[in-house]
Homo-oligomer: A and B are copies of this chain.
Amino acid sequence: NENIVLVSRAFRRQFVIPEFEEFTDKIEKFYYTCKEIDTGKVAAYIPQLERMSPNYWGVSLCTIDGQRYSIGDVKVPFTIQSCSKPLTYAIALNELGSEVVHRYVGQEPSGRMFNELILDHNKKPHNPMVNAGAILVLSLLLNLSEVDMSLAEKFDWVMNYFKRMSGGEFVGFNNAVFLSERENADRNYALAFYMRENKCFPEKINLRECLDFYFQCCSMEVDCESMSVIAATLANGGICPTTGDQVLKPDSVRDVLSLMHSCGMYDYSGQFAFTVGLPAKSGVCGGLLVVIPNVLGIALWSPPLDQSGNSVRGIEFCKELVSMFNFHRYDNLKHAVNKQDP
Tell whether A97 is near chain B: CB-to-CB under 8 Å.
no
Which partner residue on chain B sits nearest A12 by CB separation? B4
What residues on B are CB-neighbors of A193 within 8 Å?
A: 186-187, 189-190, 193
**By the criterion CB–CB under 8 Å, are B238 and A258 in contact?**
no
In the complex, A328 Cα to B258 Cα: how many Å?
Answer: 9
**By the criterion CB–CB under 8 Å, are A254 and B186 in contact?**
no
| A83–chain B nearest beta-carbon distance, Å | 18
Assembly of this chain: how many copies? 4
Tell whether A251 is near chain B: CB-to-CB under 8 Å.
yes
| A197–chain B nearest beta-carbon distance, Å | 4
Mask of A247-274 contacts with B, CB within 8 angstroms, 1/0: 0001101110111011000000111011
Which partner residue on chain B sits nearest A260 by CB separation? B330
Which partner residue on chain B sits nearest A276 by CB separation? B258
| A44–chain B nearest beta-carbon distance, Å | 15
Task: From B111, B187, B194, B337, give the contact of A111 (CB < 8 A).
Answer: B111
Tell whether A112 is near chain B: CB-to-CB under 8 Å.
yes
Chain A residues in the interface with B (C-beta under 8 A)? 1, 3-5, 7-8, 11-12, 64, 106-112, 117, 127, 186-187, 189-194, 196-197, 236-239, 250-251, 253-255, 257-259, 261-262, 269-271, 273-275, 277, 279, 293-294, 328-338, 341
Q: List 18 A-B contacts (CB under 8 A).
A: A8-B8, A106-B270, A107-B270, A111-B111, A117-B194, A189-B189, A190-B193, A190-B197, A236-B335, A250-B331, A250-B336, A254-B328, A254-B330, A254-B332, A262-B270, A262-B273, A293-B332, A294-B333
